[in-house]
Structure 1
Amino acid sequence: MKNKYYLNSLIIGVVIAVVLNFFTLPYYVTRPGDAQELGPLVSVEGGNTDEGSFMLTTVKMGKANVFTYAFAKLSDYQYIYPIAQIRGENETDEEYSYRQLHMMESSKETAIKVAYEKANKEVELISKGVYVFKVLEGMPAENKLTIGDRITHINGEETPTAESFMEQVSVKEIGETIEVTYDRNDQEEKTKITLAEHPEKPGFPGVGISLLTDYEITTNPAITINTAQIGGPSAGLMFSLEIYNQLVEEDISKGFKIAGTGAINEKGEVGRIGGISQKVLAADNAGVDIFLAPYENGAENSNYNEAVDAAKDIKTDMKIVPVNTFDDAIEYLEKLERKSN
């Protein structure tokens, strides 16, 4: 009789565990991902090979259930985020994935342009428009702009790229009203938006949207990049370095395993990204020698400072290097002594 009781209890426990495993909570859990070599993903026609390797770093993310939520609470370098901090309002999982993949496409195209120009190779990048891909709740653009709107002007001045839009906004004052011209469903519309404080840059004006420039690119020599299901813009810097290294005769990897992270714009400026402490751990697990991190012009809360703190915490020998621009990274690597065997 006792054995039957234990068996029934076990069956009930298993059923409850299965149900809880499939019952998701309104949170995402992120954890360290992988460090992936870019050489197999990037192929420049007639390109040169390297002795070392350039690597992108990733963060793994999934919807939380009772078990993953509890485990994240008890674990270092696993973080919990409300869904609203990850996805836009009413944005589905499919829409979020679509947005991430398009951000990667834009990042790749910008990385190609920066690398080809630095290597004095032929490249042409034509802007086809600036699209809204996220609207922040509680910010001025809420209920005025929506995902998919193509912004064309601010106060009558063209905005051909996301960078040009941000530059025009950055010279305004908090509380100042701007007129935004945009296309929605092939119809031109206008709206007035009063600027508020930027949520990530105290003291700076912001609209409360994230933008993506849609580019068309041609190159000589030809290039192929296979990113499969990699999403987001954070691998831009590392893609640009791998591309450049295949374009030039000198091997700037110098035999080192070099990882890093950072979005990159047309000017070669390296931008802040999320999850850098987790990426430091991923790189260390992969035996990386050097990790490049956005310095953000010395900001106190920069990605670089966060990366240094994480490196100290995990007691890694990996060198953390601050970079503001693509040129900073090239300059550092060109001065680097070749790795001894």
Structure 2
Amino acid sequence: MRKPLVYMIIMMMLIAALSLYRLDYYIVKPGHAYEVSEFIEVADSHKHQGTLNLMTVAMQVATPLSYALSWLDPTSEIVKKEQVRRQDESDKEYDLRQQKQMTDSQFNAKYVAYNKLGLKTKVNFEGLYVLHVVKDSAAYKQLQAGDEITQVDGLPVTSLAMFTEHIAPKKKGDEVTLVILRDGKEKSFTIALKPIPEDAEERIGLGISYTAAQSLETTPPLEVSASDIGGPSAGLMFTLGIINALSEKDITKGYAVAGSGTMNLDGTVGPIGEIGKKVIAADRDGMDYFFALSTPYSEEYMKAMPGAKTNYEEALAMAKKINTNMVVVPVETVDDALTYLQQLKAPSTSR
């Protein structure tokens, strides 16, 4: 009786190890379509029949078991950790970077949408948002990802350029005093600058990467809440979704519209990754149209990456591969997307 029990315990331990041990790989596969109106809160929002949808991919750290099973799924892809994470980036830093990219995406979407509609906006610069602290750098073990730097040497941080220009002339051993916000509480650190580890230019500095921390006031007030979704790729669809929420007419004409692309403050769309998997997900979730960036790459980029395909080319190739009836639409700007939607005829009631 003991042997079967021992074998069972060993088997359970083996299965647990195969299921829980984390490999230096990620498994990426198609995610889902999410209607952006579900994330937008604004008084007197207009309800429409059609939908505008952001697309996701599902990504998880591989275990020996999930790694093996992924080979049975033709839509799954195994990628190395360094293709997803930055060097020395912790789990917390990765998650915060994804969240920050999403909040910046929402900021840009609101700014562009309100300007397209002629509505008022006000940008408030609040400081610098720390994304990453280089291991063994001057700021290591003092600053951390998620900190918001509001002052440097007694001066309010008013822009990215102001902070960079203040730090740049300083030499090894010079001290800077920073005031930061961390979890809503103000803290102060005095840090002696030193060479940034593994920096090709051997620069002197804090050893942090950062971006702007800013907020946007809008009239009428509008909030976008999508904290469970990371990354910047929903920018285009959030922009269209906000425009639709604030418009009496349904810009979708009653269709299910999806797409993927970042949104720049000038209204241009930026490239994203894994668009083929998003096409698969959009087709599976019943989308009628899919917007994809078609802006050609620069000559310099094509020299460095010969054979590179635009998002539109990749999306179109996948659409043909899976034989979908969904229409893949090339866009370079939010105006391209709006113009395309404007010329659509409403679907028949028998659809």
TM-score range, shorter chain: 0.7 to 0.9
| Structure 2 counterpart of 1:306, one-letter code | E
**Alpha carbons 2:295, 2:332 under 8 Å: kept:** yes
| Structure 2 counterpart of 1:238, one-letter code | M
1:323 aligned residue: 331
Q: Aligned with 1:50: secondary structure?
A: coil
Question: How many Å apart are 1:129 and its aligned residue?
Answer: 4.7
2:217 aligned residue: 218
1:294 aligned residue: 293
1:340 aligned residue: 348
Question: How many Å apart are 1:289 and its aligned residue?
Answer: 0.3
Instruction: Decide which of 98, 101, 122 is 2:99's aligned counterpart.
Output: 101
Q: Aligned with 2:32: secondary structure?
A: strand
Task: Summarize the Cα distance change of 1:118–1:30 in structure 2 as closer, same or farther, 3 Å threshold.
Answer: same
1:314 aligns with 2:322: yes
Task: Summarize the Cα distance change of 1:161–1:32 in structure 2 as closer, same or farther, 3 Å threshold.
Answer: farther
Give the whole-Å Cα distance in 1 for the aligned partners of 2:347 and 2:177: 54
Instruction: Decide which of 83, 86, 95 is 2:84's aligned counterpart.
Output: 86
1:305 aligns with 2:303: no
**Alpha carbons 1:50, 1:255 under 8 Å: kept:** yes
Counting only pairs closer than 5 Å after superposition, residues 195-274 of structure 1 correspond to structure 2 as 212-274=211-273
Question: How many Å apart are 1:77 and its aligned residue?
Answer: 2.5
Deviation string 1:100-143 (CA, Å, 9 cap, x unpaired) is: 1111111101100100110111112234456563699xxxxx97
**Alpha carbons 1:77, 1:277 under 8 Å: kept:** no
**Alpha carbons 2:93, 2:132 under 8 Å: kept:** no
Question: How many Å apart are 1:91 and its aligned residue?
Answer: 2.0
Question: How many Å apart are 1:212 and its aligned residue?
Answer: 3.6
Instruction: Decide which of 13, 16, 27 is 1:15's aligned counterpart.
Output: 13
Instruction: Decide which of 23, 38, 41 is 1:40's aligned counterpart.
Output: 38
Deviation string 1:40-69 (CA, Å, 9 cap, x unpaired) is: 211222221211000111111111011211
- Please tell me whether Structure 1 or Structure 2 has the larger radius of gyration of its CA atoms: 2
Question: How many Å apart are 1:19 and its aligned residue?
Answer: 1.7
Task: Summarize the Cα distance change of 1:317–1:65 in structure 2 as closer, same or farther, 3 Å threshold.
Answer: same
1:118 aligns with 2:126: no
Question: How many Å apart are 1:76 and its aligned residue?
Answer: 2.2
Which runs of 5 or more structure 2 residues have no equivalent in the other structure? 152-156, 162-166, 171-175, 180-189, 202-207, 299-307
2:70 aligned residue: 72
Structure 1 vs Structure 2 CA RMSD: 3.6
Deviation string 1:210-244 (CA, Å, 9 cap, x unpaired) is: 86432211011111222131111110110010100
TM-score (norm 1): 0.76
Task: Summarize the Cα distance change of 1:80–1:181 in structure 2 as closer, same or farther, 3 Å threshold.
Answer: farther
TM-score (norm 2): 0.74
Identity across the alignment (%): 36
**Alpha carbons 2:19, 2:63 under 8 Å: kept:** yes
The 10-residue stretch of structure 1 (73-82 or 21-30) with the greater mean CA deviation from structure 2: 73-82
Counting only pairs closer than 5 Å after superposition, residues 174-193 of structure 1 correspond to structure 2 as 185-186=178-179
Which runs of 5 or more structure 1 residues have no equivalent in the other structure? 137-141, 153-157, 163-178, 196-208
Q: Aligned with 1:58: secondary structure?
A: strand
Deviation string 1:234-285 (CA, Å, 9 cap, x unpaired) is: 1011001010011122210100000111111110111111111111111111
Give the whole-Å Cα distance in 1 for the aligned partners of 2:160 and 2:109: 15
Q: Aligned with 1:333: secondary structure?
A: helix
Task: Summarize the Cα distance change of 1:184–1:68 in structure 2 as closer, same or farther, 3 Å threshold.
Answer: farther
1:202 aligned residue: none
**Alpha carbons 1:161, 1:213 under 8 Å: kept:** yes
Task: Summarize the Cα distance change of 1:65–1:215 in structure 2 as closer, same or farther, 3 Å threshold.
Answer: same
**Alpha carbons 1:127, 1:161 under 8 Å: kept:** no
Give the whole-Å Cα distance in 2 for the aligned partners of 1:78 and 1:133: 29
**Alpha carbons 1:304, 1:321 under 8 Å: kept:** yes
